Amino acid sequence: MTQRLILGQTLAFDGDPAALGLAAARHMTQGGVVMQAGKITAIGAADALRAAHPDAAITDHGQGLILPGFVDAHAHYPQTAIIASWGKRLIDWLNSYTFPEEARFADPAYAAQIAARYLDLLLSNGTTTVASYCTIHPQSVDAIFSAAQTRGMRVLAGKTCMDRDTAPAFLRDTAQSAYDDSRALLARWHGVDRLSYIITPRFSPTSTPAQLSALGTLWAENPDCLMQTHLSEQTDEIAWVRSLYPQARDYLDTYEAHGLLGANGLYGHAIHLAPREIDRLAEVGAALVHCPTSNSFIGSGLFDMGLRDRLRVGLATDTGGGSSFSMLRTMAAAYEIAQLRGMALHPAELLWLATGGSAKSLRLETKIGRLAPGHEADLVVLDLASTQAIAQASARAEDIWQAVFPTIMMGDDRAIAQVYVAGKPIKA
């Protein structure tokens, strides 16, 4: 099978720079990546790779920066069409925009249309893997997985489950149908090609205890699967949970009591956590997912990035509550939120969060998120001079971090010079 050698600047991480320092990063101004059969087979200096692989098809990206493809650890693809809807906090936003739009996914043709649009938007922004909520409709899961297969993408997704009268009648299932539908979808899709099923209760306020228990049972039966949900996004949401689950010690306990707390759990937002919740999440080895543009857009609060010391943390757009499909914009928002909490995230930390960090939160760190032999060849090539403003800033750079930071802070889809999915270029 033909080898492909792509040349440019390379930036590879051996681990989290927040823990290991900048020694975890290896930058080459004239580097390259060899890909074959969808995997990375070698990285190194351009001249050495040319000599070692004389028959490889070569693509030279010049000064383009080659990175792992971005990994979005929490999103709602059915909300693609309602992104940037004005002026609501979480509960009002769900009722005014989200739930009416999600009702449209009862139509398989509409679900397929939006799934295709969404994944193309991701690719145009350099995102090669996403973990997405779907709707209560099984066909919404079929739609995104089918679209992912067509594009060869690694995608994780699950049917969103809601059976409580806090959700509109037209978007409710039952405890039994949530279990049955999720079980059937898991059997159909989990582990097929590059696809993974995630068990997906939306959040405690829209599920009865019976449904949470049913999904906890399903998770216990399939412990290799991930489980995703929302946790402590807004203070009024926490008060709502307290009114619905008066016996619970805290928000996290509404999941723990029903078998939905574990090492393969993904807890989105997690802004307003109590000390007990942090301790339990750390004890079981769960992952948090930081959604900075959503947290600011809907007015939720400021995530504590210091929790990385105890927990795996991924980064996510949370579209459409988030205001951008771009992980560059998401990194910029993460930087700004950390600044408001008195923490200046280094560009290396931001890039890690959007690649290896998110991959680790999804338990995919041995497959994606790094430039390393044996990892899947999902890559993005950044143009570090994509606009006049970015170019004049990066031209003054004294090292790679000063060169890439303007793109993190001001970049958009124009900065995406090329994307490779399983070693195949996406742009002509």
Which residues contact residue 45 at a Cβ distance below 8 angstroms, ignoring those fewer than 6 apart? Answer: 28, 30, 31, 32
Cβ-contact 234, 272 below 8 angstroms: yes
pLDDT at 95: 84
Radius of gyration from C-alpha coordinates of the chain? 21
- What is the pairing mode between strands 195-201 and 127-133? unpaired
pTM score above 0.85: yes
Q: Which residues neighbour 340 within 8 Å (Cβ) at sequence distance 6 or greater?
A: 302
Q: Looking only at Cα atoms, what is the longest distance across the chain?
A: 68
CB contact at 8 A, 65 and 52: no
Enumerate residues 6+ apart whose C-beta is below 8 A from 326: 125, 126, 317, 411, 412, 413
Model pLDDT for residues 211-242, shown as the tens digit of each residue:
999 999 999 999 999 999 999 999 999 999 99
The terminus-to-terminus CA distance of the chain in angstroms comes to 21
For the 4-68+369-425 domain, the top CATH level (class) is mainly beta
Task: Give the pLDDT score at 348.
Answer: 98
- In the numeric block, the tokens 């950044």 are attached to 382
- pLDDT score of 85: 85
Distance CA 176, CA 187 (A): 16
Domain 70-361 grouped into CATH 3.40.30.10: no
Q: Where in the chain is the domain with CATH 2.30.40.10?
A: 4-68+369-425
Conformation bin of residue 169: beta by default, left when phi > 0, alpha when psi is -120 to 50: alpha
Q: Which long-range contacts (CB under 8 A, 24 or more apart) does 175-181 make?
A: 175/208, 175/210, 175/211, 175/213, 175/214, 176/214, 178/211, 178/214, 178/215, 179/214, 179/215, 179/217, 179/218, 181/138
The pLDDT, as a whole number, for residue 380 is 98
Token match 């579209």: residue? 319
- Name the nearest CA neighbour of 142 among 181, 171, 178, 94: 181
List of residues 6+ apart from 91 with CB closer than 8 A: 236, 237, 240
Going by C-alpha positions, the residue among 352, 361, 398, 419 that lies closest to residue 16 is 352
| pLDDT score recorded for residue 91 | 77
Per-residue burial over 97-109, b = 16 or more CB atoms within 10 Å of its CB, e = otherwise? bbbebbbbbeeee
User: Which residues make up the CATH 3.20.20.140 domain(s) of the chain?
Assistant: 70-361
pLDDT score, position 414: 97
Task: Flag residues of the chain having pLDDT under 50.
Answer: none
State the Cα–Cα distance between residues 302 and 2, nearest whole angstrom.
48
- Spell out the residues 6+ positions from residue 208 whose beta carbon is closer than 8 angstroms to its own: 163, 164, 175
